[in-house]
Amino acid sequence: MSKHQALETFGRSGNPVFGNKFDGDAQFRDLPVTEKMTLDGTVNKTGILLALCFATAAISWNLPSPVLMFSGMGIGAILALVTIFKPTIAATTAPIYAACQGLFLGGITVLFEAQFPGIAIQAIGLTFGTLASLLVCYKTGIIKPTENFRLMIVSATAGIALLYIVNIGMMVFGGGSGIGFIHSNGLIGIGFSLFVVAIAALNLVLDFDFIEQGSENGLPKHMEWFGAFSLMVTLVWLYLEILRLLAKLRSNN
Amino acid sequence: MDLNTIIFGVLAILSLATFFYLGKMRASKSQRERDDRIDWTARKFSFRSCITIALGLFIAIYAVDLIFFN
């Protein structure tokens, strides 16, 4: 058995989304082929999640309402946490998560679009462009994720998360504008946004590797939903960061 | 439809098509058959290094904010 075949235990991954308790020793080896995770299934399920996200985003885009937007964000965040800790129910939670995120993204995109016309389609194009180009780089072996790569990306993601949490805390409890340059459209603010976009994009490579190895090792079928969910989480983050970056660039002119 | 919509719309559609086509194919041999692949069964790096880098990044960015924006 190669070391990668022990994948099914999935005990302690570095990626927050992948840090699941995957507690089955050799039980998956005996699964029938139709019950195993495949690349085909994961990509199809990602398509379903994207379609759901677009459908609800269209609703929120045409009927902009803070209630829809914030309820989508809140329920989406809760469902994301639930799915991370219990991937076996991903088939149920991932579609609802995608629908909720669609409501949130549709609402927030309307706000950006009102201020900077044309920004929405730019952000969508760049997000999917990044997804496709990194997938090509991964599949062809141009980018080869290693343990050090994972350490760097996971640490940087954790650092950014900490920064955002402190920023929100300062805005809510400090009454100020939080960490100023995160929102500034100056050179440092744009540089910061570029860095965050790069880290979000490189998280996609970790997602691809997880899905590739998961299908190689025949994880159970529900992990297709989990793989699709993890891609969605990263894509939503990447889209929001690209939207912010474009807004900074446009307001800087 | 303006040029902006056409360019980025086409980019989005082509990218999605690439994703749905290429995503179903296995990665190249050079990607799959190497010794330094990520082992998803375990965390190979120490939790301490992860926290150190994350905190270092946070402090560096916060320091930039304090120096230049306050």
Residue of A nearest to B57 (CA): A159
**pLDDT tens sequence across B36-62:** 899 888 777 778 888 899 899 888 888
CB-based contact A154 B50, cutoff 8 Å: yes
Min Cα–Cα distance to chain A from B22, Å: 7
Closest by Cβ to A124, choosing from B12, B44, B62: B12
Interface residue A188 vs chain B (CB under 8 A): yes
Measured between beta carbons, the chain B residues lying within 8 angstroms of A166 are 58, 62
Domain extent for A217: 3-252
For the four alpha carbons of A127, A15, A22 and A8, in that order, the dihedral sign comes to positive
Per-residue pLDDT at A26: 53
DSSP assigned state of A35: G
The whole-model pTM stands at 0.88
Residues 30 to 69 of B: which have CB under 8 A from any A CB? Answer: 30-32, 34, 36-45, 49-58, 61-62, 64-65, 68-69
Min Cα–Cα distance to chain B from A36, Å: 15
Q: For the purposes of burial, counting CB atoms within 10 Å of the CB of A22, is it exposed (0-12), middle (13-18) or buried (19 or more)?
A: buried
| Residue A74 β-bridge partners | none
User: Which parts of chain A have pLDDT scores under 70?
Assistant: 1-30, 175-176, 253
**Tokens 């300062």 belong to residue:** A170
Per-residue pLDDT at A62: 94
Per-residue pLDDT at A124: 97
Per-residue pLDDT at A218: 85
- CA A29 to centroid of chain Cα atoms: 29
Residue of A nearest to B31 (CA): A141
CB-based contact A216 B18, cutoff 8 Å: no
Measured between beta carbons, the chain A residues lying within 8 angstroms of B30 are 141, 144
Cα–Cα distance for residue pair B38/A210, rounded to 1 Å:
9
Indicate whether this complex's ipTM tops 0.95.
no
Q: Number of folded domains in chain A?
A: 1
- CA A9 to centroid of chain Cα atoms: 23
Domain boundaries, chain B: 45-70
**pLDDT tens sequence across B4-43:** 999 999 999 999 999 999 999 999 999 999 988 998 887 7
- CA A230 to centroid of chain Cα atoms: 6
Using CA atoms of A72, A76, A173, A190 in order, give the dihedral in degrees to the nearest 10.
Answer: -90
- CA A54 to centroid of chain Cα atoms: 15
